[in-house]
Structure 1
Amino acid sequence: MRSAGRLSMLDLICEVLRVDMSALIGEDPVRRAESCLEDAEVARIQSALERYPLTSPVGSPVDTAALRRRVEHAWAAFEFADYDVVSLVLPGIIEEAQHGHAAWDDDGSALLLIEVYQLASSTLRKLGEHSLAWLAGDRGMTLARQRGDAIVVAATGFRIANALLSIGRARQAQALNISLAETLQSELRDEADRALYGHVLLQAAIAAATAGDQVGVRDLVAEAEDAARVVSPGSNHHRLAFDSTNVLLHRVGALLALGEGGRAIEIAATIDADSMRMLRKERRAALLVDVARAYGQVGDRDRAVRALLEAETTASREVRCRPVAQATIADLLRRSRNAPPLELARLAERSGVRV
């Protein structure tokens, strides 16, 4: 299990990077009794990311078809917010994809390895391992740039930008995402490319909001809305689930970053039940966590707790594994002047939150 020693490591990282703890994990530090990512798993993932195999190991060649199935399974687990499952299989599929690329050194093996790095970066960022998320993205970006494919570069690059945002580099994240979007503009061939373009714009908008750039948020979200008009509802191009509903989700996130919790609640309320059902579990639960944070901003503890409980029912690990959700629970506990409501206390216990 993770321990207070993990927080000591975070303190050291904050000192080296010269950022506040809140910038590193999104909110105040949370004393947790458990996590979906153990120290041993972090070490295994880091070890895999730090390998640069130039040749495939002697023995049976990599079974590309079997590896592809394992990657598909890991992506499905991610979309269901089963982050403990993803983190468990990540070291193995990273190493196997690396060996496969060393053996075959072709477009297929390169693309598969890049995709594995993308999955690793997204998962690690979700779980608060931001430096490793950056490393995974950077490994993928190196390969993507070698291929010279703007689509693959953008699909990898925005994950690096998100890692930068997570360590308090909002302006740098915004600039990188805007640069990626500009590069994509001349490469938009089909609906999938436009979905990626719109998603990158939304990541830029979140970074702009974190930097306090209201005008930038407005313009970037408006352009993303235009892109969403030509993307089929419920689509999952590049595994990004970008469509008009996803634009609304990011508007909620941007308003939260700007401190406009009341407006965020209003926008979230415009998402109808059918659109909510079309969202994959990870996105649906993440939205509910954001709604809880918005209610927290406006001082409505009870509705915040109800949103968290609904998120837990939808995808429990989105609440129990993510630092931002953990911090939201801790904040609600701190705001309870007397004994916290029973539902909140029980949620905190299930989530391992200690304040």
Structure 2
Amino acid sequence: MDLDRRGWAAVSVAASASTGRRVALWRVRRRMTQQVFADRIGRSKSWVEKVERGVRRLDRFSLIQQVAEVLRVDPAELLGTDRLPHPDDGVAADGVQAVRAALACYDVFAAGSLGPAPDTVEVSRRVEHAWSTYRHGDHPRLLRMVPGLLDAARRLHAGRPEHGVVPLVQAYRVAALVLVKVGEADLAWLAADRALATAGNDRLLAASAVVPLGQALRGLGQGRLAMTATITAAHRIAASTGGAASASADTSSEQRSVYGTLLLQAGLAAANCGDHASAGELLKQTAEVARQVGDGQDYRQASFGPAAVDCAQVTAAVALDNPADAVDRHTAIVRRDGWLRLPAEHRAAYLIDAARAHLDTGDLAAAGRWLVEADRVAPAEIRCRPSARTVVAEIARSGPQAAGVARLATALGLTR
């Protein structure tokens, strides 16, 4: 029997109180006072108190995501969505454990016991294959590849340092990026830090390692730190090239791509902090660099170009609680050819952000449609990412869904 308005109100209040209790529980588990928690999410202590008492609702997905990031939990934990075990969970968990074990190995203690240096060409081929796997969004497979890749790259670096620096940095970078995807930002930070340490005095190589570092910090809810790290790295490139954003002949496309990608990450970090002015200015600068670079540059620079910047504008608008602007931008983006040239991983991740925008505007049908499309483009982006599963869960809780969304929710083991 359908609930009347009073009944729905009671359900809404109960759900709000339940979510508030979960926020309080996780805040205490993270050993944060209400004031510390409030400071980290840019709210007042009284706002936190009202949320935890159920007086104030977390009524936007972007807000739930922000709170979850600070608490370092899957947003579904806050929503209280019932979830059945899913086969992908075990695959991803096993992969993460193997990567964790690989990162626990320190080369300085293993010197002399790493074994003979492998063939340089073979290690480079494996690095290329890892990046290709990342671009296709096959995260479980990449997690399985990373431990062996790190072992080979470390042995090459130990035996032939002059040939091993770049492969090892790239191995750590791709490891950090996939760890961010599966919600392991702490481990991603460690992998990115290893990449930076390995890069040494090579400014461009070190700057490229800051890209996943910025993503890891954002995943930990440390937007200000992410801004500082990425902007500092971008300025170092600019200083070493006489202005990396310029179109001078002595500035390589790779330098511009790394520079632009760092600015893009800084802009997204600013958006995560609610800093409208900085986000707008940084993404404006990024767009100028992207026009010089064009689409289709080296895959290792995270698909930087005009299409990537367009997509980032949507992501930033969602983070800044401006879903209407995000929806308008998305409508324009999908009419262009450029975004279709982005890797499958990038397109699927972007479509999840587009779904969030539609969800926040109340258009559940469009949100579901874009989620189903993301699942078609790169299934692991939906199946392995906690934030993506939460969008599906929120749509499933909100009312009747289209058949595609219902099938996706069932595939993910979500129940209402």
Contact kept, 8 Å, 1:196 with 1:237, in 2: the verdict is no
Report the TM-score, using the length of structure 2 for normalisation.
Answer: 0.77
In 2, the alpha carbon distance for the partners of 1:237 and 1:269 equals 26
Question: Contact 1:205 / 1:220 at 8 angstroms: preserved in 2?
Answer: yes
* 1:120-159 equivalent positions in 2, closer than 5 A: 120-144=175-199, 146=200, 148-159=201-212
* Cα 1:288–1:14 shift into 2, 3 Å: farther
Query: Counterpart of 2:68?
Result: 21
1:310 is matched with 373
Q: Is the 8 A contact 2:258 2:301 kept in 1?
A: no
Report how far residue 343 of structure 1 moved.
Answer: 2.9
Q: Report the CA distance between 1:68 and its aligned residue.
A: 1.4
Q: Distance in 2 between matches of 1:351 and 1:195?
A: 36
Q: Which of 173, 185, 190 matches 2:252?
A: 190
Q: Name the residue aligned to 2:363.
A: 300
Q: Deviations over 1:120-153 (max 9, x none)?
A: 0000001111111011001111112x2x122111
Of the three residues 307, 320, 329, the one matched with 1:245 is 307
Q: Is the 8 A contact 1:301 1:332 kept in 2?
A: yes
Distance 1:135 1:58, change over 3 A: closer
- Which residue in the other structure is 1:3 paired with? none
Report what 2:216 is aligned to: 163
Amino acid at match of 1:331: E
- 173 and 260 in structure 1: CA distance in 2 versus 1, 3 angstrom threshold: same
Equivalences for 1:144-293 in 2 at 5 Å?
144=199, 146=200, 148-187=201-240, 188=244, 189-236=251-298, 238-271=300-333, 272-293=335-356
With 223-232 and 26-35 compared, the bigger mean Cα shift is at 26-35
Structure 1 residues 42 and 230: CA distance shift in structure 2, 3 A? same
The percent of aligned pairs where both chains have the same amino acid is 30
- TM-score, normalised with respect to structure 1: 0.89
Cα gap change, 1:13 to 1:235, in 2 (>3 Å): farther
1:73 partnered with 2:134? no
Structure 2: which amino acid aligns with 1:38?
Answer: A
Q: 2:148 maps to what in 1?
A: 92
Alignment-derived partner of residue 48 in structure 1: 102
SS in 2 for 1:229: helix
Q: 1:64: Cα distance to partner?
A: 2.1
Aligned AA (2:229): L
2 CA distance for matches of 1:313 and 1:92?
29
1:178-237, Cα deviation, whole Å (9 max, x unpaired): 111111112332111111111111111111011110000110011001111211222235
Q: 1:250: how far off?
A: 0.5
Which ranges in structure 1 are unaligned for 5 or more consecutive residues?
Answer: 1-9
Specify which of 328, 331, 338 is matched with residue 394 of structure 2. 331
8 Å Cα contact 1:11/1:21 also seen in 2: no
Displacement after TM superposition at 1:16 (Å): 5.6
Q: How has the CA–CA distance of structure 1 residues 21 and 13 changed in structure 2, closer, same or farther, with 3 Å as cutoff?
A: farther
Distance in 2 separating the partners of 1:333 and 1:250: 26
Which amino acid is 1:53 matched to? Answer: D
User: Conserved in 2, the CA contact under 8 Å of 1:158 and 1:180?
Assistant: no
Contact 1:22 1:28 in 2 (8 A): no
Cα distance 1:352–1:258, how it changes in 2: closer, same or farther (>3 A)? same
> Equivalents in 2 of 1:131, 1:12: separation in Å?
18
Corresponding letter in the other structure for 1:41 = G
Tell me, which stretches of 5 or more residues in structure 2 are unaligned? 1-24, 38-66, 245-250
Which of 77, 85, 93 is matched with 1:33 structurally? 85
RMSD: 2.4
Q: Deviations over 1:57-97 (max 9, x none)?
A: 37543122212111111111110001111001111111121
C-alpha contact 2:131 2:300 (8 A) present in aligned 1:
no
| 1: CA distance, partners of 2:294 / 2:253 | 8
Change over 3 Å in CA distance of 1:180–1:14 after alignment to 2: farther
The structure with the largest alpha-carbon Rg is 2
**Separation in 2, partners of 1:321, 1:252:** 22
Q: CA deviation at 1:12?
A: 9.8
